[in-house]
Structure 1
Amino acid sequence: MAATTASGAIAGFFSYVILAAAAAAAAGFNAPTVSFSDGFSHLFGNDNLIRGADDRSVRLTLNRYSGSGFISTDLYDHGFFSASIKLPKDYAAGVVVAFYTSNGDLFPKNHDELDFEFLGNVKGKDWRIQTNIYGNGSTTRGREERYLVPFDPTEAAHRYSILWTPDYIV
């Protein structure tokens, strides 16, 4: 995960992912990276969060009782947010893996959100990814799209990224 901090920042990074590794993707944008110890804290499922030896990646696992999640300890006005995600195999209906930014903790009724959501799956069916962009809490002005994933996201980790500049979201 890499981001540029700013005073008056509006969005915290929050993520439910199976595998998050950020330093490699940010390097292509010449962006500073944030170590897990310096930039994040556990949100839930502590036993299911395994830190990488370099403290720049974490592996989130899922068992029959819980998943895991973490949240940034700083706020970001914009930045480059990236995760390497490998989805669970076989029957995953009811499991939603999400990677997103949100400022809902600061603006609970009028928040902004950018996200990737991998909707649970039944073995043998194609996975779907849903992307969302919400501004000022508006789902009417927001943009939600669903896509079939053209590869098997359970075979290997794939990189998903959000580049949020002061002017654009890519």
Structure 2
Amino acid sequence: MARRSSDLLASLLAVAVLVALLGTASAQQQWFDEKTFTTEGNIRVDNDGSGQVASLLLDRQSGAGFFSKQKYLYGEFSIQMKLIPGNSAGTVTSFYLTSGPGNGTNHDEIDMEFMGNSTGDPVVLNTNVWVSGDGKKEHQFNLWFDPAADFHTYTIIWNPKNIIFKVDDLFIRSFKRYSDLPYPTVRPMEVHATLWDGSWWATRKGEVPIDWSHGPFVVSYKGYNADACAPMGEGKPPSCAAGSERWMDRVPSAAEMETVAWAKKSYMSYNYCEDGWRFPQGFPGECGRN
């Protein structure tokens, strides 16, 4: 009798695990819908067998993007992306958080922007943090793989202690909070994903514009996940689901900071804390502390 009860319990646990896995897979498959996102421009939604794939198209007439209808105050946000193959110079592909349009004093933003490349050159990933309309905190990296050959996962973790940027399982940057320095803590943010013409800026500081003979340009997104807190109103703490402490208290470990150092040493192409021309009056406060 005890053996039978044990077998039954094992069977029930196996079913429960299977149901949980199927639920997760279903959520991944159906991540893109009109209840979750507002869309703009030319977007195609397909299914590659593992779930939905949203493809953004850029041509001479229009770029494209999708934007979360929900705003968040802290969270872990990730998505898989396959970038433009071949010559993508002049294009900008993004995955970022923003409190709203414009660059005014009420604007916060956390950016992962991929600047298109001429064939054979590395794709540059630009990471940046804006607080109260002030950006200029870029770390740029030459990606060490071909981001158009397959999907890779890009993650932003935003909590009261730091902002962490990840590529696949590697930590590449941590923007630490200091009590006396600006940090995004009060403005809820939407999730944005866009593809647009950045000829004036993207490739070699605008030296190489888009070659439209290679268009339309296509970027594909899948596997989106937002494990985040919802704002409840001014002066009230955000509403967070059970388990949010997994990322809410997250800071890089010593081993993870080693990958940050590796990315900086081997692949960083721009560091605002080393750009004396840009800051003739002195570097931002965090530069001397990190």
TM-score normalized by the length of structure 2 = 0.42
* In 2, Cα distance between equivalents of 1:59 and 1:136: 31
Q: Distance in 2 between matches of 1:116 and 1:37?
A: 24
Residue 128 of structure 2 contacts residue 139 of structure 2 at CA under 8 Å; is this kept in 1?
A: yes
SS of the equivalent of 2:57 reads coil
User: Does the aligned pair in 2 maintain the 1:91–1:122 contact within 8 Å?
Assistant: yes
Write the distance in 1 (CA, Å) between the matches of 2:143 and 2:128: 16
Contact 1:84 1:157 in 2 (8 A): yes
Q: What CA distance in whole angstroms lies between the structure 1 residues aligned with 2:38 and 2:46?
A: 11
2:32 aligned with 1:61: no
1:39 aligns with 2:48: no
Which residue in the other structure is 1:50 paired with? 45
Residues 56-112 of structure 1, C-alpha deviations (whole Å, 9 max, x = no match): 84412324343320111121111111111111111111110011001124x751211
List gaps (5 residues or longer) in structure 2: 1-23, 165-290
- Quick one: distance in 2 between partners of 1:90 and 1:50? 22
Distance change in 2, residues 1:53/1:36 (3 Å): farther
Question: In the aligned structure 2, how far is the partner of 1:51 from the partner of 1:169?
Answer: 32
Map of 1:146 onto structure 2: 140
The match for 2:70 is: 74
**Residue of structure 2 aligned with 1:86, choices 82, 87, 95:** 82
- Would the aligned equivalents of 1:60 and 1:67 in 2 still touch at CA under 8 Å? no
Question: What code does the residue aligned with 1:61 have?
Answer: L
Cα deviation code 1:114-165 (max 9, x no counterpart):
01111011001111111001111112xx520111100111100100010112
CA 1:73–1:53: 2 relative to 1, 3 Å: farther
Larger radius of gyration: 2
Matches of 2:156 and 2:44 in 1, distance apart?
22
Query: Identity over the aligned pairs, expressed in percent?
Result: 33
When the two chains are superposed, the root-mean-square deviation of aligned CA atoms in Å is: 2.8
Equivalent residue for 2:159? 165
Structure with the bigger percentage of helix: 2
Unaligned 5+ segments in structure 1 are 1-22, 28-32
**TM-score using structure 1 length:** 0.68
- In the alignment of these two chains, the number of paired residues is 136
- The 8 Å contact of residues 58 and 64 in structure 2, kept in 1 or not, is answered as no
Q: Does the alignment pair 1:124 with 2:120?
A: yes
Q: Residue 62 of structure 1 aligns to a residue in which SS?
A: strand
Q: Given that residues 62 and 68 in structure 1 are in contact (C-alpha distance below 8 angstroms), is that contact kept between their aligned partners in structure 2?
A: yes
